[in-house]
Structure formats: C-alpha cells, structure tokens
Amino acid sequence: MKHMRPLPLALALLLPLLAVSTALASGDDDDDHDRARAALERGAILPLAEIAAIAQTAYGGRLIEVEFDEEDGRFIYELEMIRADGQMIEVEIDAASGRILKMEAEDD
C-alpha cells in the first residue's frame, strides 16, 4: 500500500473555495461571477478567499453558497454557511472592506 502525503495547508484551504467559485460561475449566476471578477480586477473588492476566511474566522463552519450583490452602491458578498452543530447561517460582508454587515441564523 502506497503512503499518501497530506495536502499542503494552503491547498486544503483552497479546495472548498474552488467549489464555491464554480457555483458562482454556473447558471443564472454568470452575471454575478462576471461582475465580481471585473470588480476584483479593478481593485474595488477583496478576493473571495479573504472574504471566506473572515466569515470562517468569525463564525466557523463550512461555506456552501456565495452570492454577489450590489446594495446602495456597494458590493456585498452573501455567504451561506453550515456550522459544526448543523446550524445554517447567512453572513453579509462588505466586499470592499471585509466588514461583516449582518449574520442571520436560518430557520428550518
């Protein structure tokens, strides 16, 4: 049996984000993905990896869905997460500053 080496920490942290990036790029979210990419290239927003790290540090859990919106002239990331206890939460983060704007627990 061949011994498997563990994934480097950076790669292990990025794998869940790859799935999220793919979710942003699929279906009706194409426009969100294009707007987010353009804003990132202009330096108007932080990378999704930084936004996800902010939410995960504050609330723990696993990122399962991301939406990119514009509200009142500012870009907002809406992150849906599932915590270790199974609780689903939605976190809104200012995409430019990384400031957490709101966290709501989702009702079943």
Residue type, position 58, single letter:
A
What integer best gives the mean pLDDT of the chain? 80
Residues 21-70 pLDDT 10s: 444 444 455 687 888 899 999 999 999 999 999 999 999 999 999 999 99
How far apart, in whole angstroms, are the C-alpha atoms of residue 75 and residue 84?
Answer: 28
Residues 49-61 pLDDT 10s: 999 999 999 999 9
Q: What is the mean pLDDT of residues 88-100?
A: 97
Instruction: Quote the percentage of the chain above a pLDDT of 90.
Output: 58
How far apart, in whole angstroms, are the C-alpha atoms of residue 24 and residue 39?
Answer: 14
